[in-house]
């Protein structure tokens, strides 16, 4: 591919909204080649998929006209690209939000996460996450890996999380999690009536057919996972038996309680991913709340513990099931 005239090309892939356009004067040697292929060669600092996105969104013009997807060039055109930030480029930006802080000191912050809040930016959720809120609340936390987030809760799971405010606290909390000394207790409502108590020791890995889901697995890539459960009370929803469970984690695998309880035949109420679809409308999210968190303070070395009552929607569900005490 011959040399072309480029103006305002950045060496990296970090963009700002005021980045100048990229101008290309094509040469005859590219005659008959698709535009996206030409651009991926002439502007290699951007991926072909990103260039295609810009074409599809109307941010690329050829001789003053908006470029068309899969168009072929003839080699004497002038192409102008207006670079746009990708969603992930905005992921680690501060955003104001209300944080339900249960405890805060110089080293750690404990908060009660509401259901519906994504913890960390990822595909489909590049903004509006807890991480964005933490960066706004405490700008200095940007110097701590993942803005101090050492463990996560699913988007629709409510409850307690600890966040490290310093690198020393982050390192110590990660070690505590690896050593399985952090105490995490959850309230969960499941369909059916499990045994009064039990221990589930079953490794969890990515589901073999559905990559969105996790599953109990004997695959070598699966990670050890242990959940202890206790039945606190029983009730009825929509004419079906339900049980309010206390689940304690030894490990913290993705979707662990949801997968483990489903694996023994007792899916969580409201769980659209692992439960029965015809029962999902009973509750708009998985009935899971992290109600107690215990750990060793990373600096003082003292044992600390916090608790958070079930949020209103979960409390209402418990009432609907006819459960009065637990």
**Active-site residue numbers?**
154
Residues with Cβ within 8 Å of 55's Cβ and at least 6 positions away in sequence, in order, are 35, 36, 39, 67, 68, 69
Quote the CA–CA distance of 196 and 215 in Å, as a whole number.
Answer: 24
State the Cα–Cα distance between residues 323 and 321, nearest whole angstrom: 6
Taking the alpha carbons of 95, 98, 99, 105 in that order, is the dihedral positive or negative? positive
Rg (CA), the chain: 26
DSSP code at position 8: S
Q: Cα separation of 319 and 317, whole Å?
A: 5
| β-strand partners of 22 | 81
Q: Tokens 């990822």 belong to which residue?
A: 122
Rounded to whole angstroms, how far apart are CA atoms 28 and 245? 71
CA distance 176 to 45: 41
Q: Where are the beta strands (DSSP E) in the chain?
A: 22-25, 60-62, 65-66, 78-81, 101-104, 108-113, 158-164, 183-191, 197-201, 204-206, 214-216, 226-237, 240-249, 288-296, 303-307
Question: Which letter does DSSP use for residue 120 in this model?
Answer: S
């Amino acid at each position: 591919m011959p040399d072309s005239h480029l103006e305002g090309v950045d060496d990296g892939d970090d963009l700002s909204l005021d980045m100048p356009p990229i101008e290309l004067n094509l040469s005859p040697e590219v005659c008959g080649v698709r535009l996206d292929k030409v651009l991926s060669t002439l502007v290699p600092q951007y991926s072909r998929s990103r260039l295609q996105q810009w074409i599809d969104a109307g941010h690329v013009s050829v001789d003053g006209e908006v470029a068309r997807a899969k168009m072929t060039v003839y080699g004497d055109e002038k192409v102008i690209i207006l670079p746009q930030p990708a969603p992930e480029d905005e992921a680690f930006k501060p955003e104001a939000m209300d944080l339900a802080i249960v405890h805060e000191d110089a080293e750690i912050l404990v908060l009660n996460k509401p259901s519906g809040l994504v913890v960390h930016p990822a595909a489909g959720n590049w903004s509006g996450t807890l991480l964005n809120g933490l960066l706004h609340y405490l700008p200095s936390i940007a110097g701590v890996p993942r803005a101090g987030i050492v463990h996560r809760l699913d988007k629709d799971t409510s409850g307690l999380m600890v966040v490290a405010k310093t690198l020393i606290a982050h390192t110590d909390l990660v070690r505590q999690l690896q050593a399985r000394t952090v105490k995490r207790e959850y309230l969960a409502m499941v369909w059916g009536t499990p045994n009064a108590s039990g221990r589930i020791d079953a490794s969890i890995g990515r589901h073999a057919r559905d990559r969105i889901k996790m599953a109990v697995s004997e695959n070598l890539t699966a990670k050890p996972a242990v959940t202890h459960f206790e039945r606190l009370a029983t009730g009825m929803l929509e004419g079906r038996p339900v049980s309010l469970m206390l689940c304690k984690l030894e490990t913290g695998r993705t979707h662990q309680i949801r997968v483990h309880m489903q694996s023994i035949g007792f899916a969580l109420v409201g769980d659209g991913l692992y439960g029965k679809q015809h029962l999902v409308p009973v509750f708009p999210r998985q009935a899971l709340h992290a109600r107690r968190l215990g750990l060793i303070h990373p600096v003082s070395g003292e044992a600390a513990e916090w608790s958070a009552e079930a949020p209103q929607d979960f409390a209402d569900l418990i009432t609907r099931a006819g459960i009065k005490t637990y």
